[in-house]
Amino acid sequence: MADSEELVARREQTEDVERLKRHLDLLDHRLDDIDSIVSAVVERIMKQPMSFSMTCPHCGKTIEIALSGTRQPTL
């Protein structure tokens, strides 16, 4: 009886570990995607300015954020 309870407990623990591994893999892929997007935006900003316009959901005012950079010459 105790052996079967231990087996069930170990099986549940193994399933929990596998589920945690899957979640960590998904998080890793999402972070890689975010890194790629941020890198692409930074590369674009270094070439030419970019601006974002947003409307505040609370007060309704429009907010404009301008980003610019200088691209260093490559040798």
| The overall pTM is greater than 0.75 | no
Q: Which domain holds residue 34?
A: 2-67
Give the chain's domain count. Answer: 1
> Has residue 48 been placed in a domain?
yes
Q: Please give the angle made by the CA atoms of 15, 21 and 27, to the nearest 5 degrees.
A: 140
Query: Residue 51: what pLDDT?
Result: 85
Residue 20 lies inside a defined structural domain of this protein: yes
Residue 62 counted as domain residue: yes
- Inside any domain, residue 22: yes
In a domain, 75, yes or no: no
46 within some domain:
yes
> Would 72 be classed as within a structural domain?
no
* pLDDT value of position 45: 73
Residue 73 lies in a domain: no
Strand partners, 3: none
pLDDT at 41 (0 to 100): 80
pLDDT tens for the chain, residues 1 to 75: 567 888 888 899 999 999 999 999 999 999 999 999 888 887 777 777 778 899 988 999 999 988 777 766 454
